[in-house]
Amino acid sequence: MKIIVTGGAGFIGSAVIRHIINNTRDEVINLDKLTYAGNLESLSSIDSHERYRFEQVDICDRNKLDRIFNQYQPDAVMHLAAESHVDRSIDGPAAFIETNIVGTYQLLEASRNYWKDLPETRKAAFRFHHISTDEVYGDLEGPVDLFTETTPYAPSSPYSASKASSDHLVRAWRRTYGLPTLVTNCSNNYGPYHFPEKLIPLVILNALEAKPLPVYGKGNQIRDWLFVEDHARALYKVVTEGKVGETYNIGGHNEKQNIDVVNKICELLDELNPATNLNIKSYKELITFVQDRPGHDLRYAIDASKIKRELGWTPEETFESGIRKTVMWYLANLPWAHRVQDGSYQRERLGTK
């Protein structure tokens, strides 16, 4: 197949592209605007591959989207391009409305315009796969409840509200126009190449510099952690084997309180990179509790039984194995992280210093 991946220079998108190029015979066309979160260095291992193409495109630009579809004649779209950081959405929601809602609309329309004129066999085989988040469901009240594919939407932040809106658009284009769409909602991802503003890489990198490790509130927020390479496998399985019109929840079966995640990272760093030169006995001494953010959901947890039952997918990594791999990757790839932190990854892309 030829697959368009939007947001392919991002954390999850780059994992999807690496998976497809390394494990299938499919071609990938990566569309990415290259905002602050887009980093082509995350694709350096495959960027010269004959089955990979990159196009710097804003999904809000309909003319460029039409050109891409006409030029590459894709068989599927995997839509991951999105503004995705909750704190940033609280400080500046406009970008989230523009990219996550308007951008999804433009991509849907470009896809529909292309799809409606395909020969019948290709038209029947075409897929539009929209990748979303479990945050659209709000949070869970009880300690044992789980998000299912039919859980009502109750988004809490501008980010999750914009993603909920894009989910509704995708389903409406399926029902109104017949566009063959699928939706997936995932739990919190982690792993290699994660942008350092997110909890796990932030804690790792702050700890290595003896900086405070900020934890919101009491750190009792619970998330279901999904290793990004497991997620990439699941997404490919959905786009190739999923049933049109269906939604699949993807989770890691790893519920952890944020404070427990931070403590586990500190323990691994104590083992793998002892803080002997930082005037501390353990990285845990750096943990600092800070004021909770507005509208902070307490607990997310995914029921991923449908994708296991219908498509045979289960995560390969436990949290213990995945977080160890993640910490080890950052320790081995600090230059990548430092180029993100100091902004040089963007300056080099623009040809400046």
Catalytic residue selected from 52, 159, 283, 345: 159
Catalytic (active site) residue 159: yes
Predicted confidence at residue 69, as pLDDT, reads 98
Phi, psi (deg, nearest 5) at residue 215 = -125, 125
Catalytic residue selected from 27, 41, 58, 135: 135
Predicted confidence at residue 350, as pLDDT, reads 53
Assigned CATH topology for domain 2-194+225-253+299-318? Rossmann fold (3.40.50)
Beginning with the edge strand found earlier in the chain, give each strand of the sheet holding 127-133 in spatial order: 52-56, 27-32, 2-6, 76-79, 127-133, 181-186, 247-250
- 117, amino acid identity: D
Catalytic (active site) residue 41: no
pTM over 0.85: yes
Give me the DSSP letters along 122-163. Answer: HHHH-EEEEEEEGGGG---SSSS--B-TTPPP---SHHHHHH
Predicted confidence at residue 292, as pLDDT, reads 87
Predicted confidence at residue 353, as pLDDT, reads 37
Catalytic residue selected from 134, 224, 255, 317: 134
Rg (CA), the chain: 20
Predicted confidence at residue 349, as pLDDT, reads 57
Catalytic (active site) residue 241: no
- Domain ranges (residues) in the chain: 2-194+225-253+299-318
pLDDT one-digit tens code per residue, 70-80: 999 999 999 99
Ranges of the chain with pLDDT below 50: 351-353
Predicted confidence at residue 352, as pLDDT, reads 42
